[in-house]
Amino acid sequence: MNKNYQLGLLYLVKLLIDADGIADEKELEALRLIKKHEQISDDVFREFEAGFQQFNERKVYDTGLDLIGACSQEEKLKAFATLYRLSEADGRVHVKEIKLLLYSIKTAGMEFDDVVNRARTLPPIF
């Protein structure tokens, strides 16, 4: 699996989880499920945790988008579809989560409708 995809996805997932100021247990469990589903190694996960602790929020965002930007179109679409599904994981969609998601999708040059359609085809993760 593409390390850029995995790290970029993890950074953006963590930002989305923290966007509403509440990292509830459902969202933290979703992070663990994504790690397992995407077959992210412990080494890559530790690299993500170290980067997340060293960087401020803006640097995490920029790094996550840069990493996803280096991926194939299919990987980008899958990453944003996963983020879209995650935004619904805690049973409520917060305005800050939607803003982060919409801005990230636009910045990456993707179409929101394509992301939503791809999200519908993903196997259940959460």
Tens digit of each residue's pLDDT (9 = 90 or more) over 33-79? 999 999 999 999 999 999 888 999 999 999 999 999 999 999 999 99
Name the superfamily (CATH) of residues 3-121: TerB-like (1.10.3680.10)
Write the DSSP symbol of residue 106.
H
Residue 3 in tokens: 């390390």
With a CB cutoff of 8 Å and minimum separation 6, the contacts of 7 are: 44, 47, 48, 51, 63, 64, 67
Q: Say what the pLDDT of residue 33 is.
A: 94
90-118 residue pLDDT tens: 677 788 888 999 999 999 999 999 999 99
